[in-house]
Amino acid sequence: MHIYKMRAESDFKTHINPRTSLVETYHFKRSMEQAKKHLMLLSIFIILLNIATNEALSRPLHNPSKHFVLVHGAGHGAWCWYKLVPLLRSSGHNVTTIDLAASGIDRRQISDLQSISDYIRPLRDLLASLPPNEKVILVGHSLGGLALSQTMEGLPSKISVAVFLTAAMPGPSLNISTLNQERVRRQTDMLDASYTFGNGPNNPPTSLILGPKYLLLRLYQLSPIEDWTLATTLMRETRLFTDQELSRDLVLTREKYGSVKRVFIIAEKDLALEKDLQQWMIQKNPPDEVKEIRGSDHMSMMSKPKELWAWLGLLPHVQVWSNDLYWSAEHRVVVNSQRERFSIPFFFFPSQYVDIKPLDELINEQNLAKYKEFNWGKFFASRNRSDYKKREVENIQIDHFKVPE
């Protein structure tokens, strides 16, 4: 801008001499003023365009922002999601973690809870307070599955998806009494977990506190030791209810509960709610989708937070070259592993070439990477552009993730 101005003044002095007519001088000055105005307008336009472009590029490339509500399990609180929350928020999503009654930092005591409905009340109150048209994605862990189930029945219009993370999942075809009986039948040694029999030793226990040894060997056996230490510090007593009390408050119907999409996430190495029991629940009360986090203990959000984030569909694994027609469009790549076939979402970004790394889901301590890296930019550059300019293309299936020979 400054350089252009200096050149313009120099040109003006060069073209004006004493023999130049006043009319010519006037027209030349006027044309120079108009040029300066045009240049100023152009500069303003470029600045505004720059701002708009930067804002557009700073937005997440994946789906529009969603509201996730995370519900903890027995003895835990909102604190147990501390690893997952920043991952979700980094993807541009809204996240709410709650303490159920007498959990976390909630001031109520277990003696204040007369029913499972009292325990779940903070979740119901939260959903009831949302704007009329807002829906949330509920993620419930372990005992939190009961909170999801009752809320799905009571407020189905407020839930877009219910995600059961290695969680209790009763339903219209699987009542809570049957589920509890099967759980007790398969139950292993409770180690140093301690029961309280508030109604006498001849009646069912009224509360449970999970001891350090049980937490270490059943829940956190694959999690960092720091997370186990945190849990032993913050663990609270859990109110227990009889099958009769639970059956009264957890009446689940196909019309309401069944109207909400359900996803179940299996924790492969769970020793508290073991994989065969998770699969039994899935068989008795089939969800819409089933996913599995390999190498995860019961506390998936602690032992495998990035994998959990990925399976929630939030991690854009790859970005490849495309044209403007596919700006921020979601596609899916089908990947064939040795054990199963699954798809992972990815998002196009114009004029980007990215080397694809082996996917995190296929890598853990016991199972090293089995897939070659592949430069998708080269692949797309070698294709005729008409192949991927078509708007009707919804899914692209490429099998360039091959087991090395």
Asked about 270 being catalytic, the answer comes back as yes
171 pairs with which residues across the strands? 174
DSSP 260-271: SEEEEEEETT-T
Helix (H) or strand (E) holding 2: helix 2-15
Catalytic residue of the set 99, 298, 300, 322? 298
Q: How many Å apart are CA 227 and CA 230, to the nearest integer?
A: 5
Q: What is the 3-state secondary structure (H, E, C) of 275-295?
A: HHHHHHHHHHCCCCEEEEECC
Asked about 298 being catalytic, the answer comes back as yes
Asked about 331 being catalytic, the answer comes back as no
SS3 34: helix
Q: How many Å apart are CA 140 and CA 247, to the nearest integer?
A: 19
Catalytic residue of the set 72, 76, 141, 142? 142
Q: Compute the residue count for the chain.
A: 405
All residues at 6 or more sequence positions from 279 whose CB lies less than 8 Å from its CB, including other chains? 266
CA distances from 343 to 186, 287, 290, 300, 337 (A): 33, 18, 13, 21, 10
SS3 96: strand
All residues at 6 or more sequence positions from 364 whose CB lies less than 8 Å from its CB, including other chains? 294, 295
Catalytic residue of the set 99, 118, 227, 270? 270
**C-alpha 387 chain-centroid distance:** 32
Around Cβ 178, how many Cβ atoms within 10 Å?
A: 14
* Amino acid making up residue 322: S
Q: Work out the angle at residue 104's Cα, subtended by the Cα atoms of residues 99 and 106, and round it to the nearest 5 degrees.
A: 65
Q: Which residue has the tokens 């147990």?
A: 80
Catalytic residues: 142, 270, 298
